[in-house]
Amino acid sequence: MLLVAAFALAACGSSDEAAEVTGNTGLCDEPGEVITCQTEASDERVEGIASIDVSCDLTEDGENTLGECAGPAAITNDGGTWEGICEGTTTWSISEPAHVHDFECVYVGTGAYEGLRYVEYTGGTDYPWPITGRIEPLE
């Protein structure tokens, strides 16, 4: 158990250290005006409750519905909050795959994460949706 805890601390780095991040969206509530998910990540600085308030401009294209989406987002945990904007696309189709999305979110940290930026990519078809990202110092 101590080995696992030591590895977890080493993987997370210090509060101002750059890091590559992988994880997934975890459990999300039913889609509504604001989508809320419990994110799971390889770096505890970006784990927590994510809330995304995106609006999408939808267009019909034969069997597909295409959405260009953007809006404010935040990730909150005991260390602070990451605040930013998510932008991307979503597609629904009557054929496979039924739902595909591709989003990039850019966050700026507050609290213990002040002075850091977190860029996160979420995309694919399978839930929970995978995330990849990078925590880096603001320039």
- pLDDT tens digits for range 39-84: 999 999 999 999 999 899 999 988 889 999 999 999 999 999 999 9
Quick one: three-class SS letters along 75-109?
A: EEECCEEEEEEEEEEEEEECCCCCEEEEEEEEEEE
For 8, the token pair is: 């977890």
What is the mean predicted confidence (pLDDT) over 76-105? 90
CATH of domain 2-137: 2.40.350
Evaluate if residue 135 carries a pLDDT over 60: yes
Please state, in angstroms and rounded to a whole number, the distance separating the CA atoms of residues 102 and 107. 17
Chain CA centroid to CA 3, Å: 28
Higher per-residue pLDDT: 27 or 75: 75
- The confidence score (pLDDT) of residue 13 equals 46
pLDDT over threshold 70, residue 15? no
Task: List for the chain the helix, strand, coil content (%; round to 5).
Answer: 10, 60, 30
- Helix (H) or strand (E) run with residue 38 in it: strand 35-41
Which segment of 67-71, 93-97, 105-109 scores lowest on mean pLDDT?
93-97
More confident: 95 or 68: 68
Tokens of 85: 């904007």
Let me know if 32 is exposed, middle or buried by CB neighbors in 10 A (0-12, 13-18, 19+). exposed
This prediction has a pTM of 0.82
| pLDDT at 32 exceeding the cut of 70 | no
pLDDT of 1 reads 29
In this structure, how many other beta carbons lie within 10 angstroms of the beta carbon of residue 3? 7
